[in-house]
Each structure stands twice: as structure tokens, then as C-alpha cells.
Structure 1
Amino acid sequence: MNTAPETTAWPRVADSDGPPLAPGTHTIAVPHKGTHVSQRYHVAGTTGPVCIALSGGPGIGWEYLRMPLLERELTMVYVEPVGTGRSGRLPDARDYNLATYTHFVHGVVEHLAQPGVTLLGHSHGGFVAQQYALDHPERVASLVLYDSSPVTGERFWARAVANMERFARRHAAEHPEVAGYVEALTAPLGRLDDDTATEYLRMILPAYLFDYWGREDEFGPARGFLRMYAEPSRGEGPAYDVRDRLPAVAAPTLVLAGAQDFICGPEWARMIHERIPGARLSVLEETGHLAHLERPEDFAALVTDFVAGRNPGTDKES
């Protein structure tokens, strides 16, 4: 199976040439601190409810999150986060924070002019999705929090580093290159350029997957399309912790996690699940941080069934 996303054939759709949900690439101007900043998004699939996909990072390019199987049943809108790709850059790099990302997502939601959308947030994109659901509950029809967390901080990062150290020890004999993974994970991205940040992200890709080397023919090409942008790591803002606010989330919520995800695994998923009333939880076994690549059919079935209201109410591990 070729799991690389199809990113080479996006038709350019100018705002004046078609409606906001026309397939292709769109650019809008979002007001920010007295100026306007370009925000790009990409539409694929036009046969079902609108689902806005928010990628991780901050600063990871959106392309890795392309989910063709979801496009068969949903109208997928992939946001190209501000500060990445060909979206605009903020005049002050310190403004890259959760409030800013939420503001730009709201710009997209307003432009789409839908009565309610599904937000699918992966990793850091899940932070943004949680914040958006709290700030704009009337605009969220449902919420998919995919390999995310309600909190970061010292404990969160200590756990991620410890998990990466275990990964490196486990694979060092067969793959000596893992000796540099912890250093790459903890590198101060804000002091790097985009190319170096991208090199570090590509280096540690195997740690984000349950069995990278056993399926390298499938996952190897992913290293070539991953892209990291350093500027968003220079942002400033309060520590991220929405645990006390999550009981106010009103939207139906699906929480997804890979059982072997080293950075946003089941511990953090259950923390979200316990706090959002009525949330559903699915933990995918033999899966790391990228279930939509590792188990695409299972991942797509969980999301599309949830959005369609099928098989409600059961938590499971699969």
C-alpha cells in the first residue's frame, strides 16, 4: 500500500473563481493586529459533512495529514497553518500561540459559512481544536481529537523524552542512528532554520510509527514530504492546560490514540475522555502517532462512523 498523500495535483482556485468549498487550494486574508495575513486551505471530497483538519507541530506542514479515505465520505478542508507553507507569516514571531492559531481557524470557519463543522485536530492541531470548541461552541458540530492532549508542560515533555529514550535503547543494536533521536526531539527549534528543523523531524520519523522498519517500503517515502517550519516555535503564550475547562465542551467528541504513541498516547487521550461529557474513546493497538497512515481503513471507519452518528457510545481498544 502506498500511504504517501497525493499532494501534487491541487488545482489553484482563486476566491473569485469558485465557492469556498470548491475542490482545490484557496487563500483568504485574515485580519490580525491591524493588518491582514494570508491563510491557505485545501478542499478535497465534496460529498459529505465538512471536516476541517488541523495538523501538528506547531510548524509541521499540512501535507502529511492528507486522508484520502475520509475524502470519500466527508468534505475535507486541510488548513495550511499560518507560519507554514505558503500561508502568511506573522509580523511578530512571538504571536505564534494557541490564541492566534484559533483565530485563524475561525477565519476559515467564517469563510466557509457552514452552520456547523467537524474539527479533526491531530497532536498540536488537537490543542487548537479543543480551544476552538471552547471559544466557539456554536460553530462545532463534532470534534475528533486525534493523538492529542489537554495539557503540556514539564510532566508531558518528561514522559515524551523518557519514551524516546526507551525507543532508542530498544532499537540501537539494529539501527545505530537512533542514538541521535533524543537530541533531535529536544532541539530548540526556534533557533534553527526550516531546513535543519525538517532534517530533525525526518530523522526521528520511525519513533512516530509502531513498525517503521517492518513497513519501510510504505513509510519511507513519508520522510520526503514531511516539512517543518521553525518560526512557529518562537511563539509566546501561557502554558497550555485546558483540563479544567473541558467539561464545558458541548460538541460530540471522539478521542483517538495509538497505543504505542510515544508523545500523545493513551494516558493523555484518557485525560481528555474523562473530562468531556459523553466523549467516545478508541485506542488503536499496534499504532503510534500516525494511525491514518498505519491503519488507514480502521482510522477512516472510526471517524466516518462517528461523524455520521453510527455505532454511538462505545469505548474500545482495537
Structure 2
Amino acid sequence: MTMTLVQGTHEITVDGVRQVFHVAGAGPVCLVHSGGPGIEWRYLRLPALEEHLTMVYLEPIGTGSSGRLDDPRDYRIDTYARFVHGVVEHLDVPSVFLLGHSHGGFVVQRYALDHPGRVAGAILYSTSPVTGEEFWNDAMARIAAFPERLPHRPAAAEIPAAFQRALAAQDDEAYTTSLREILPAYFADYWTREQDLEPLRAALRAWIDPMRGEEPAPFDVRGELRSLVVPVLIISGVHDFFGGTRWARLAQELIPGSRLAVLEESGHMGHLEQPEEFTRVIAGFAVAGADVSAGRTAR
């Protein structure tokens, strides 16, 4: 069933805190949660998908025009998921597709596990079912090896040191500056499309999440995913420094009936590196899921 939502920017209150989101496109509803945590949503604007889906882009709590939490310890995955639920409830549709990128993928997994009846399908994009020491050691090893992977790009040699500066950032300005410095690490080869991507880089903004995406215990839903009953599409780029396809393949093994789409020429930003393939696999997944949902409703 196709729902009609009012296009444009919207603001609601969840637990007394402002939550802003943007609606664009037509078709089944797909709520989008960007990554970081703390990165402004616009880098994940998906105009091509708006031709197939009604895209609902969150400004995650603590970023952009959305409100800030009084207690920095509340920036937890379950908190982000609670704000997602507030928007889903406000939209008043039977179910929604969810697209979570990177840290947003953690949020989507948590939400789909807690509220499967509200999820038409989950799209886990450049994410993982687990973090912790092994996850981060793997990512840091890939960052250290980044200059070796692109020896013909002199600027690649600067990425490992810039990444350490990003990890050490203590305020929003420093974090934003560092994120712009390390942006090439998120691509298979940023410099092949540097002219097109520089405006994105210049406009990128970020806000410090005091928890830095981690919590007292690392994110780990491996023990729960075997019971996940919603349709799941997993998208992963071969050159993603967050493990390549390692963690995506683990998620596929754990989630019954899940589908994995591997982007051979992408890093962490497949929607910008292979946009046609990215759009095609998501549109196909959503159309199939919407047909199944409509059939259930008809019965």
C-alpha cells in the first residue's frame, strides 16, 4: 500500500525533545537514519530512490535542527531507536522500510528486533552486527594500510594521521574539520571523482556524540539476529575500511532469508560510488516487500 505524506520539513517532540525529519518522494515509506554518529543527514540524501519510495530522512537526535539530550550518557543506540519509533508512530503508517547507514545500521537493527511488526523491511548499509575490539582493530588496520592500497594517490598518505586527529576531536568544529580531512578514506578511490565530491566535502557537518557510538558494552546483536523475522537487505562495499564485506557476510549468515548486495567498486559510500546499482537493489527489494505487505493486508 502506498501512503501519501506531506513533503518537506517536519518537527515533532519525542520525550520532550525536538525531532526533525524531511519527507521527499513517492511510494512506500522508507525511513533513513544516517551514520556517524553525529553526521548531518544531507550526505545521505537519495534523490534517485525518491522516484520509487517516500523517503523520510531523520536528523538524528543531537545533530542539525533536532534537539540535544541533557545527559550525554543518553546517546545510546536504544535512545536513537526510541526516536525512530517516535517518528514511525507519528507517520501513522502500518509499517515502514528502514535504511540505516553505518552507525544508523546499528539503530535499524535494534529497532527491527524490538518492533518487527512496524518494519516492512530493513536495509543494513555499510554496517555490522557487532563492534568491539576486533571490529575496531580491523578498521584501524585498514586505515593504516590505506596509503598502500592507493600508492598512486599522494594525498592517501595523509589519511592515517588525519584519522587519529578525528578520533581525538573534542568539539563540533574540530570533529567537522577532521571528518572533511578523512572523507577520502570512505571511498574506494575518492580522487577519481574529486571534482564532483568536493562540494559534499565542503558542506559536511558533524556534531560530537559524547558516547562516540560506543557504550559501556560494545554493540552486539549476533545472539538476537537469528530470530529476526523481517525482510533484510544488506549492502556492503568491497573497499569499506569498516571490514569490507566481512561484517556484512556475518550478518547475512545470522539473519534468516537475508540478501547481500556487494558493491565491487565502492567503499563506505556506495550510494555515491555506484549509485545506479545501489538504487536498483533497494528499489527492487522495496517493491517486492511492498507487494508482500499488500498481499497480507488484502487477506
- Normalising by the residue count of structure 1, what TM-score does the alignment of the two structures yield? 0.85
1:27-66 to structure 2, matched below 5 A, reads 27-31=11-15, 36-45=16-25, 47-66=26-45
- How far off its partner does 1:30 sit? 0.3
Q: In the aligned structure 1, how far is the partner of 2:57 from the partner of 2:135?
A: 27
Aligned residues of 2:101 and 2:126 also touching (Cα < 8 A): yes
Q: In the aligned structure 2, how far is the partner of 1:230 from the partner of 1:190?
A: 11
The alignment partner of 1:52 has SS state of strand
- How far off its partner does 1:21 sit? 2.5
Letter in 2 for 1:29: T
Q: In the aligned structure 2, how far is the partner of 1:29 from the partner of 1:189?
A: 32
Aligned residues of 2:143 and 2:241 also touching (Cα < 8 A): yes
After superposition, give the CA deviation of every residue in 1:148-187 in whole Å (9 maximum; x if it has no partner): 1000011111111111111123446642x44442233344
Q: In the aligned structure 1, how far is the partner of 2:53 from the partner of 2:82?
A: 24
Equivalent residue number for residue 211 of structure 1:
189
Letter in 2 for 1:204: I
- How far off its partner does 1:207 sit? 1.1
Aligned residues of 2:20 and 2:66 also touching (Cα < 8 A): yes
After superposition, give the CA deviation of every residue in 1:113-139 in whole Å (9 maximum; x if it has no partner): 110000001110000000000011111
1:90 aligned residue (64, 69, 82): 69
Aligned pairs, how many? 287
Q: In the aligned structure 2, how far is the partner of 1:44 from the partner of 1:132?
A: 22
Letter in 2 for 1:41: F
The alignment partner of 1:244 has SS state of helix
Q: In the aligned structure 2, how far is the partner of 1:254 from the partner of 1:174?
A: 33
Q: In the aligned structure 2, how far is the partner of 1:209 from the partner of 1:118?
A: 26
Letter in 1 for 2:230: A
- Stretches of structure 1 that go unaligned for 5 or more consecutive residues are 1-18, 313-318
Aligned residues of 1:49 and 1:75 also touching (Cα < 8 A): yes
- How far off its partner does 1:192 sit? 1.3
Equivalent residue number for residue 192 of structure 1:
170
Q: In the aligned structure 2, how far is the partner of 1:209 from the partner of 1:230?
A: 22
2:235 aligned residue (239, 256, 265): 256
- How far off its partner does 1:224 sit? 1.3
Equivalent residue number for residue 269 of structure 2:
290
Distance 1:190 1:237, change over 3 A: farther
Letter in 1 for 2:102: S
Q: In the aligned structure 2, how far is the partner of 1:77 from the partner of 1:127?
A: 18
After superposition, give the CA deviation of every residue in 1:281-315 in whole Å (9 maximum; x if it has no partner): 110111111111111111001000011118x9xxx
Q: Does 1:104 align with 2:88?
A: no
CA RMSD after TM alignment:
2.0
- How far off its partner does 1:222 sit? 1.5
Equivalent residue number for residue 48 of structure 2:
69
- Stretches of structure 2 that go unaligned for 5 or more consecutive residues are 292-299
Equivalent residue number for residue 296 of structure 2:
none
More helix, by proportion? 2
The alignment partner of 2:234 has SS state of strand
Q: In the aligned structure 1, how far is the partner of 2:56 from the partner of 2:193?
A: 29
1:238 aligned residue (211, 214, 217): 217
Q: Does 1:300 align with 2:264?
A: no
Q: In the aligned structure 1, how far is the partner of 2:137 from the partner of 2:47?
A: 34
Q: In the aligned structure 1, how far is the partner of 2:150 from the partner of 2:126?
A: 23
Equivalent residue number for residue 159 of structure 1:
138
